[in-house]
Amino acid sequence: MVFLLILGIICQMNEREEVSLEEFLPFEFEKPVAMVENPIEDGIFYIAEQIGRVKVVFKENGNWKVKNFLDIRDRIDFGGEKGLLGIAFSPNFKSNGRIYISYTSKYGYSIISFFAVKDRKFSAGDRETIILKVRQPPFPNHKGGDIKFGPDGLLYISLGDGGGAGDPLKTGQNPKDLLGSILRIDPETELPYAIPKDNPFSDDVVCGVNQSKKPVRGCAEVFAFGLRNPWRFSFDRKTGALWAGDVGQNRWEEINIIERGKNYGWRCYEGFEIFDRNCSKTNFSFPVTVYKLYEQKDCAVIGGYVYRGEKIKLLHGKYLYGDWCSGKIRVLDAEKYYNLKLSDSSVLIESGLMVSSFAEDKSGEIYVLDHKSGKIYKITKKE
């Protein structure tokens, strides 16, 4: 046991000594919250700015260039945790040219929509197709807003509990609305979207379409629920596991593996601790790991990625995630957790950044977005 502990400490030290942050792009963006790479052409990246713009960056004659790709500032509600929040390419982008976005609108909705890109590179055009509108409470926080296509080709959407301290509307434990949940839909086979047959409430009301009807057990779109604010999530490209960071209330920040039909406890639990003693529900799914709120200037977990790149061998199979306030980038052994259901986490980098998001390129390398400076960094191996 002592040997294993010493070995673990040595591995953590080696990881910290081997990696660094390197400035990736020579540009400063305005409150960047997401970055994705063009799925067809390497080295073309799209950066979502929370204020309501998407910029595209690419190399021309060996030099980085930046262009405006999309501007929806005229329709978003920006401020606090609201704005343009997510971006994702269709898995069928080569044939349909769709790029999906997630944002909060001026009219009090979370919106999921897509644009059919004309030249597939540098302009989204102005023809927006809205596929989902979710009514939001009048709070400035807990909107979630991340979107990603999973390995199953379906679109996953994160929505927070709608805001306000302590989940005042009790949406977290209510799968009969769309808040406090991870949704899963299929917008590629029919409009506005189809419901996957193996969703936990697939035979119930499609709440985003039939907003006047009340579901019996839960909205058909809901994949998992009991979440407070799953701001960022990702899929392990090797295993397909869905990793999510869920921002805590008073004490604990969570990292969860999200599985179909599971209830992740909010607001009955925060981390492993009871939050609401009046809850009568059981059978919760608990986090992979937690860390304490405000203990080391931490305030909000930012979910990241399992590293599957080839350039930093010591990080292979490790899950990297961050914190908005402290800028700490932490790491835990995802492979160990898959096998033993147990994994410790440690601080990998003291970045000093206001980490808003992580990104992953097609080769599995990981990037860090700094909300304050607007810069984007790449996690690299020290030379």
C-alpha–C-alpha distance, residues 178 and 86, integer Å: 17
C-alpha–C-alpha distance, residues 39 and 145, integer Å: 21
Contact 225, 241 (CB under 8 A): no
Taking only the tens place, the pLDDT of each residue in 152-166 is 999 999 999 999 999
pLDDT for res 280: 83
The pLDDT of residue 142 is above 60: yes
Taking only the tens place, the pLDDT of each residue in 16-28 is 778 999 999 999 9
Number of domains in the chain: 1
Taking only the tens place, the pLDDT of each residue in 266-302 is 999 999 999 999 998 789 999 999 999 887 799 999 9
Contact 265, 284 (CB under 8 A): yes
The 3 state secondary structure assigned to the chain is CHHHHHHHHHHHHHHHHHEEEEECCCCCCCCEEEEEECCCCCCCEEEEECCCEEEEEEEECCEEEEEEEEECCCCECCECCECEEEEEECCCHHHHCEEEEEEEECCCEEEEEEEECCCCCCCCCCCEEEEEEEECCCCCCCCCCCEEECCCCCEEEEECCCCCCCCCCCCCCCCCCCCCEEEEEECCCCCCCECCCCCCCCCCCCCCCCCCCCCCCCCCCEEEECCCCCCEEEECCCCCCEEEEECCCCCEEEEEEECCCCECCCCCEECCEECCCCCCCCCCCCCCEEEECCCCCCCCEEEEEECCCCCCHHHCCEEEEEECCCCEEEEEEHHHHHHHCCCCEEEEEECCCCEEEEEECCCCCEEEEECCCCCEEEEEECC
User: What radius of gyration do the chain's Cα atoms show?
Assistant: 20
Q: 278: closest CA among 288, 287, 269?
A: 269
pLDDT for res 211: 82
The pLDDT of residue 3 is above 50: no
The predicted model gives 62-73 an average pLDDT of: 97
The predicted model gives 304-324 an average pLDDT of: 98
Residues facing 318 on adjacent strands? 333
Could you tell me what percent of the chain has a pLDDT over 70? 96
Query: pLDDT confidence of 212, banded at 50, 70, 90?
Result: confident
pLDDT for res 341: 84
pLDDT for res 295: 77
pLDDT for res 65: 97
Query: pLDDT confidence of 5, banded at 50, 70, 90?
Result: very low
Taking only the tens place, the pLDDT of each residue in 329-382 is 999 999 999 998 877 899 999 999 999 999 999 999 999 999 999 999 999 998
Structural domain containing residue 233? 2-381
Domain CATH code at residue 20 = 2.120.10.30
pLDDT for res 12: 55
